[in-house]
Amino acid sequence: MSPEFPTSGSVRSAAEVNEQIRALWRRAGGTLSAQERLEYELLVVEWAEAIREQVIKAA
């Protein structure tokens, strides 16, 4: 797995990851290649972990 996309203990905020997801879609022009789809899936997992961390801290 690429070191660019941590799978646990995300150090980036959900907002940062969300912006990277948005940038990926803008670059792709709305259609993801197989490589871009993999990147997107990893980013979504990272975003979900960041959201979960925010909820835990808020509780």
Domain boundaries, the chain: 31-59
pTM for the whole thing? 0.76
Q: What is the pLDDT of residue 11?
A: 80
In 3D space, the residue among 13, 38, 17, 15 whose CA is nearest the CA of residue 28 turns out to be 38
Q: pLDDT tens digits, residue range 2-59? A: 445 444 555 899 999 999 999 999 999 999 999 999 999 999 999 999 999 888 888 7
Residue type, 47: W
Q: What is the pLDDT of residue 17?
A: 97
